Amino acid sequence: MNFDFSPEQQALREQVSRLFADGRAQARKLVESAQRHDAGLWTRLVELGGAAAAIPEAQGGIGLGALELCVIAEEAGRSLAPVPFMSSAVHASEALKIAGGDIADAVLPRLAAGEVEGTVAFAERDGSWDVLPGAQVEDGRLYGVKDAVLDPGAGIAVVSARAAADGEGFGWWLVDLAGAGVEREMIPALDVVRRYARLRFAGVPVRRLGAPGAGAAMTARLMDAVAIITAFEQIGGAEAQLARCIDYAKTRKAFGGPIGVFQGVKHRLADMYVKIELARGHALYGAWALSTLASDLPAAAAGARLAATEAFSFAAEEAIEMHGGIGFTWEDDCHLYYRRARVLALELGSRRRWAGRLVAALAGGPSATEAAHGL
C-alpha cells in the first residue's frame, strides 16, 4: 500500500507551486480588469505540461494520469492562480477522454498543446450538470441557453443537449465557440476572479460526442472525475486559509499576547485542520479510485466532494472571523477564498444533490435527483 503521491508527482507539485508563487497577486489584478485570465501564466503552465499531463500520448498528451491533475489543482486552489486549468485541462479534456471517438482524437492534441482552450456548458437554470438539458439539436444545429459557463473565452465547449436520436435521454456535442450564432453574455460572478457567461446558441453547427442517449452516463462519470480533482482544489484553498490564520494567530496581539493562546481561537483552527485532513483522506482515496476506475468510484467521488466542500467552506468562513475587521475588507484576500469556496460548492451541484448521490452509491440504486430527472 502506498497512500500518497509519488516522488515524481511531488516534484511536479514543487514546480507548479513555484510557478504559482504570485498567484494571489495575479488573481488580484484580474479583479479590477476585464482580462479573462493571466495569459502569460497559462502559457507557462502549458509549457510545464499542465494541459497535457492527463491526456494519453496517442492523443498528443504526456500520458500521465488523474493524480497529476490532482496535484496541479491543489496548487491552483492554494494560490488562486488565474488560469483556465480547471475548465480546459480538467472539465473539457476529461469530457473528451470519456466521450472518445474521432472528434475527441482530433481536439485533445490541440488542448494538450494549449493551441485552444476548452470548457463545458452543461448547467442551465436549474444549476447542476446532471439535469436533463433544455437545449436542443436539430439538423446538426444547437439551439438553447447554457448558464454559469466557466471561462467562456475558450475556443471550444462540450455541451449537453437533446436531439431526436437521443430518445428520452440526451447527448454531448462539441461546439466551436468562435463560430457564428454564439452569444456570450458575461455574468458578474460571486467569485470576482473567475469568468462566467450565459451562452445563447442560435443554430450553431455542432458535432456529436459519444453515442446518442449516452449523455447521462457520460455526465455522471465526468462529475465523479471532476468532483475528485476539484476536491484537491478545495483542499488547497482551505490549507491556504488555515496557514494564513495560523500566521495571524501567532502574530496578532490582544490582551497582552498573541491571540493564538486563546482556546476559542486555537480550537477553531484545530477543527479546520481536522476537516482538512478528513477531506484529504477522502480526496486521496478518490484519486486512487479515479486512476484505477475502482467500482466504488461514485461513492469515493461523493465522499471527496462533500468532505472537501465542508473543509473549504469552514476554513473560508472562519478565516474572516479570525482576522477580525481586516478580514472583512476588500483589500484583504480572505474574501477571495470565501468567494471561491462558495462558487466551488455550487459549480458541480449543491451539497443536497451530492448527499443524495452519496447515499444512492452507498445504498445501491439511483438517487432521488437522478430518478426525478430520469437519469
> CA-CA distance, 328 to 102, in Å (whole number)?
51
Binding to other proteins, residues 279-298 (CB under 8 A) = 279, 281-282, 284-285, 287-288, 291
Distance, CA of 199 to CA of 363 (rounded, Å): 37
- Contact flag: residue 62 with other proteins (CB under 8 A): no
When asked if residue 363 is in the footprint of other proteins (CB under 8 A), the reply is yes
Does position 252 interact with other proteins (CB under 8 A)? The reply is no
Of 233, 310, 318, 333, the one binding other proteins by CB under 8 A: 310
- Contact, 73 vs 232, CB < 8 A? yes
321 contributes a contact to other proteins by CB under 8 A: no
Q: Does 172 bind other proteins (CB under 8 A)?
A: no
| Shortest Cβ 274–other proteins spacing (Å) | 5
Contact yes or no for 135/129 (Cβ under 8 A): no
Q: Rounded to whole angstroms, how far apart are CA atoms 214 and 217?
A: 6
**How long, in residues, is the chain?**
375
Number of chain residues interacting with other proteins (CB under 8 A): 49
Q: Are 144 and 201 in contact (CB under 8 A)?
A: yes
Q: Which is nearer to other proteins, 30 or 360 (CB)?
A: 360
| Cα–Cα dist 359/294, whole Å | 18
Alpha carbon distance 91, 94 (integer Å): 6
Q: Which is nearer to other proteins, 8 or 138 (CB)?
A: 8
Give the span between the Cα atoms of 356 and 217, in whole angstroms: 17
Looking at 21, 25, 165, 270, which residue binds other proteins (CB under 8 A)?
A: 270
As measured in angstroms, the least distance from the Cβ of 354 to other proteins is 7
Q: Alpha-carbon distance 182 to 173, whole Å?
A: 14
The Cα 375–Cα 357 span in angstroms is 12
Give 156 or 242: the residue with its C-beta nearer to other proteins. 242
48 bridge partner residues: none
Q: CB of residue 26 vs other proteins: minimum separation in angstroms?
A: 28
Farthest-apart Cα atoms in the chain, separation: 74
Range 15-34, binding other proteins (CB under 8 A): none
Stretch that binds other proteins, among 114-122, 213-221, 300-308, 324-332 (CB under 8 A): 300-308
Where along the sequence are the contacts to other proteins (CB under 8 A)? 1-6, 67, 242, 246, 249-250, 257-258, 260-261, 263, 265-267, 269-271, 273-274, 277-279, 281-282, 284-285, 287-288, 291, 302-303, 306-307, 310, 351-352, 354-356, 358-359, 362-363, 368
